[in-house]
Amino acid sequence: MSIIVLLRAVSERELAGGIRGSSHRLDAPSEDAIALGLSLRSCTPAPMQGVAIGPPEWDVPLRDAVSLGVDQVERMWGPSVVAGDIVAHAKLLACKVSADARAVIAGGGATDHGSGLIPFALAELLGWPVIERTIGAGIEGEDLVVRALAGGGRRTTYRMPAQAVLVAASGRVLPYPTVARKLAARRAAVPVVTPPAAHAAEPAFTFEGFGPARPVTRHLLRPSTATGAGGRLRHLMAGGASQSPARGSMEADAGVAAQLADLLDKEGLLD
């Protein structure tokens, strides 16, 4: 029996130039997955293996995962990986799930541009059930018992004799690693697996980057060009929002703005 944890690293500018020698760290969903894996491993002596799909810059944060309790880590990278999409990556991860694996644990959507779909695609390929917002997992007899959050603050409990893909709930607390584990993690090897091109499917799409953000208040604060100078000033001084009878304070502010705009317009100060 073994436990597989899906890991991911993100870049953080504040870490550049530090003693770690890397500007990458494990993202919060990966830490949630590790914490859930530790709770499951406390019920069984099963080893916990971390698997990541990422570049060489991820080696340092993957060693951090070892210091947090992951027994061994492995990174997948190569031309076929770079060109792959969600389905292709899920297929590569499915090849790493051994026959004795009891659970695959993942976090939620990655904190940079993750979709959170990898666990579901992997579960589909493996034919396993997937349980979201998992807060606890254990072994009772021969069964895997999973506890998850439900709507309305309720908690649900699932019992299954077979394997499952678990998506950890956010906000779990990891134990602080000891100095001995940190020192041992620095020497931990991070094997790199380069899948052959035949194992990767032709990607259905490629991610090219993010566009500029569109201001949420762009149309809210821009006054109409159809009004006069007094109307435009009145609109801006009212906060760019239309009057609402349900908000007395907004009506009062808009009334003061209207009086001031009318006074300035009347005196010819807006021309």
Instruction: Please determine, for residue 36, whether its predicted confidence score (pLDDT) is greater than 80.
Output: yes
In this structure, the number of other CB atoms found within 10 A of the CB of residue 81 comes to 20
The angle, 0 to 180 degrees and rounded to 10, between the axes of the packed helices 229-237 and 248-266 is 150
Tokens found for residue 116:
């959170």
Topology annotation, domain 2-199: Rossmann fold (3.40.50)
Average pLDDT over residues 5-33: 84
For 110-152, what is each residue's pLDDT tens digit?
766 667 899 999 999 999 999 999 999 999 988 999 999 998 8
For the segment 152-161, the average pLDDT, to the nearest whole number, is: 91
Residues 6+ positions from 167 with CB-CB distance below 8 Å: 106, 107, 108, 116, 119, 130, 131, 132, 133, 134
pLDDT of residue 221: 54
Residues 6+ apart with CB under 8 A from 46: 1, 2, 3, 40, 102
Domain ranges (residues) in the chain = 2-199, 218-266
Q: What is the pLDDT of residues 185-241, one digit of tens each?
A: 888 889 998 877 655 556 666 666 666 666 555 455 555 665 666 666 666 666 555
- The separation between the first and the last C-alpha atoms of the chain, rounded to the nearest angstrom, is 81
Question: Residue-wise over 143-167: b if at least 16 C-beta within 10 A, else e?
Answer: ebbbbbeeeeeeeeebeeeebbbbb
Average pLDDT, the chain: 81
> Is 119 in contact with 90 (CB distance < 8 Å)?
no
Residue 86 pLDDT: 85
Q: What angle do CA 131, 177, 94 make, to 5 degrees?
A: 35
pLDDT at position 175, please? Answer: 85
What is the pLDDT at residue 233?
Answer: 66
C-alpha distances in angstroms, 136 versus 32, 69, 177, 198? 11, 17, 21, 38
Cβ contact 149:183 at 8 Å: no
pLDDT on residue 230: 65
